[in-house]
Structure 1
Amino acid sequence: MGLDRRMVLAGLAFGAAPRLAFGAEPAPARQPYPDDAAPPLFAEDYAAARRGFATHLLRRGPAPDEGESLDAPPGARRIRYRSDGLDLTAWLSEPVPAGETRPAILFLHGGNALWHGHWDLTKPYRDQGFVALMPALRAENGQPGAFSGFYDETADVLAAAAALRAVPGVDTSRLFLAGHSVGGTLTLLAALASPLFRAAAAFSPNPDARAFFGRFAEDIRFDTADPREFEMRSAVCYAGSFKCPVLMLHGSKELRTENAIRLTAERATAAGRKVRHGIVAGDHTSAIPGETAESLAFFGGI
């Protein structure tokens, strides 16, 4: 796949460059909404909807991106966490000194694989005293499990959050969530699914799965005949379910997803949720430092 996909899905900061390679029975189907129509909005709580849904994968296999060794980069240590019976890897920052408690950030990488350069995205948070955890998700970097495209991976995010809460010295009342690109989309879904987080910041997310997979159709592994497969991966369809304050950011040169992000924020605000939409100068990658600074200010104001 070409450079455009590498830039869009991974968006590594600080010069890192990735190299990419290539359920349950569905309930009665209903007709998908037209491509030119606004995504539906459901009143049902997203967490409850997840309990009644399982993605139907037509193909099972590894994530579409290759990644590299999961040996921890400098400033991190490798730990294991469990999700849906799978033994997965995450990178955790240095131990908290005895007797201290600190806020924590669960940061979700872009793309569908974890690269050492991704860890650099946690440095501004670590410099501000946060404990940082960055997980590799199922089927990434040779790990077990089947790639589903956002849905089952959301369960891994919540499992990683539980692992971070258990780290000695973490203030469990100040557990924050952030992510970029694919990780930004997963940030939104996790913030819909669980009350674990004090606040969340999503950089360059796509809250409309139909639009996302319309651009990256090669990543589809689920039954596209069932519109719920798209809806359950779309934060815009459950925007009233956010369980913490959320900041959604994108670069000023990223226009493709702006309408979906704006609609998600409008729907959430109408439902009484504290959800903001902001624009930072730059493109999908160059906006990351500004988005990081905005997220730190947002977290500090919660």
Structure 2
Amino acid sequence: MRNYKFLTKSFFMLAAFSICISVTACDQADQSGEVSTESLSSARAKFKTDIVDTSFQGDGEPATPPADIFSLVRYPAKDGNMAAFLTPDPQDGKKHPAVIWLIGGYGGIGHDDYFWAEQPRDNDQTGSAFRKSGLVMMVPSFRGENNNPGKYEMFYGEIDDLESARQYLASLPYVDPNRIYLAGHSTGGTRVLLGSEALTGFRAAFSLGGIPDLKSRIEMGKMMVEVPFNQNNLEEFRLRSPGVFVTSIKSPTFYFEGEEYYWPEFDDLKTVAKDNKIPLYIYKIDGADHFNIISPVTELIAHKILRDTDEKVNISFSKEDIENIRNDIFR
């Protein structure tokens, strides 16, 4: 697994781009960075991505985890069986809430002990707060990663694999299929946003540090991996850009980012969400960065999930919650 902490902060510097915030006037497929009234699932159904670069090399075969922490499982997907880490059955005869954690970086879920070794609190990208809280936790890899079948598509076909992972998790006898949550950081945070827009079945979604627009991110500077799709077709970028399809969000979706790496475009998306009653909630953590938010935010999310037992989602984050996250980071 590639660790973002060793990249220079300039890798994440944010380039401004204009975003249309009138959802009635932003439906042209040949422009990136606009909000569309068409659903992401509908747009994807009419499109086939063109993968022109196959140089991507994922992480190798995942290591075998300690049995009391994770099992290495294979979930069935369109291209074949995909590797994932899964916490064990509590063996109490009950159905439990579950979280799918989508990691940052590129390559997959690693080939060493990263996910069960202790990580520094200011950069724990493993999402360990979920399993430590007692939630069922699944950490999937996707096509082209970890010796999985298929080709890496950078935020496209991986969303189909995510739905396959959710279906697998929902089929387990110890998982409550009505209480499956989606969470992820950075690259995983972008996949969370796209998953919330394109898929159903997640009770709520939590994105830490995802991006709103892929074309703008690529134009900022070199990516960690080669862009695999045909960049001459703007629709390729559009269907991989969560900011375009925020009107597709139906389940509560929460976005968190540290001030240092916060995309100002999320302020515009916050306006779109409020004006159109979209359940997207955006939080900027003052003074924080892309990494030190992970531990306190995931711990709070886990706490909220365990108490989300009503018929409808009862998760929300108060100003006090956000201030407590900041205080935790800087104490």
TM-score where L is the length of structure 1: 0.82
1:203 aligns with 2:197: no
| 2:176 aligned counterpart, secondary structure | strand
Q: Is the 8 A contact 1:235 1:264 kept in 2?
A: no
* 1:102–1:131 contact (8 Å) kept in structure 2: yes
1:252 maps to 2:259:
yes
Match of 1:289 in 2: 295
Q: Distance in 2 between matches of 1:54 and 1:5?
A: 34
Distance in 1, matches of 2:204 and 2:7, equals 27
Q: Structure 1 pair 58/101, CA: closer, same or farther in 2 (3 Å)? A: same
Q: Which residue of 1 aligns with 2:246?
A: 239
1:104 aligns with 2:109: no
Checking the alignment, whether the CA contact within 8 Å between 1:61 and 1:146 is kept in structure 2 is no
Q: Using the alignment, how far apart are the partners of 1:278 and 1:298 within structure 2? A: 16
What is residue 67 of structure 1 aligned with on the other side? 59
Q: How does 1:48-197 map to 2 (within 5 A)?
A: 48-63=42-57, 66-74=58-66, 75-113=69-107, 114-115=109-110, 116-118=113-115, 121-197=126-202
Does residue 230 in structure 1 map to residue 237 in structure 2? yes
Segments of 5+ residues of structure 1 without an aligned counterpart are: 10-28, 34-38
Output one character per residue of 1:174-224: Cα deviation in whole Å (capped at 9) or x when no partner: 110000010000000011011110000001101211122223455311111
Structure 2 counterpart of 1:103, one-letter code:
P
Instruction: Please state how far the C-alpha of 1:96 moved relative to its aligned partner.
Output: 2.7
* CA distance in structure 2 between the aligned counterparts of 1:225 and 1:5, rounded to whole angstroms: 32
Q: Which of 212, 217, 225 in structure 2 is aligned with 1:212?
A: 217
CA 1:129 to 1:62, structure 2 compared with 1: closer, same or farther past 3 Å?
A: same
What is the distance in 2 between the residues matched to 1:222 and 1:272? Answer: 34
Counterpart Cα distance in 1 of 2:295 and 2:3: 21
Change (3 A) 1:181 1:118: farther
Which structure is larger by alpha-carbon Rg, 1 or 2? 2
Query: Judging changes above 3 Å, is the alpha-carbon distance between structure 1 residues 247 and 119 closer, same or farther for their aligned structure 2 residues?
Result: farther
Distance 1:61 1:94, change over 3 A: same
Bigger shift: 110-119 or 162-171?
110-119
Shift, 1:269, TM fit:
2.9
Matched residue SS, 2:52: coil
1:253 partner SS: helix
Name the SS for the 1:177 alignment partner.
strand
Structure 1 residues 295 and 279, CA, compared in 2 at 3 Å: closer, same or farther? farther
Question: Relative to 1, partners in 2 of residues 1:118 and 1:259: Cα closer, same or farther, differing over 3 Å?
Answer: farther
Superposition TM-score, scaled by structure 2 size: 0.75
- Deviation readout 1:81-132 (Å, 9 max, x if unpaired): 1222322111100113242111000000111121342467343112322110
Distance in 1 (alpha carbons) for counterparts of 2:265 and 2:190: 12
**Aligned residue pairs: how many?**
273
RMSD between superposed Cα atoms in Å: 2.5
Structure 2 unaligned segments of length 5 or more: list them.
10-27, 118-125, 309-313, 316-331
Give aligned-pair identity as a percent.
Answer: 25
2:322 — aligned with what?
none
Q: Given the superposition, is the C-alpha separation of residues 3 and 244 from structure 1 closer, same or farther in structure 2, using an over 3 Å criterion? A: closer
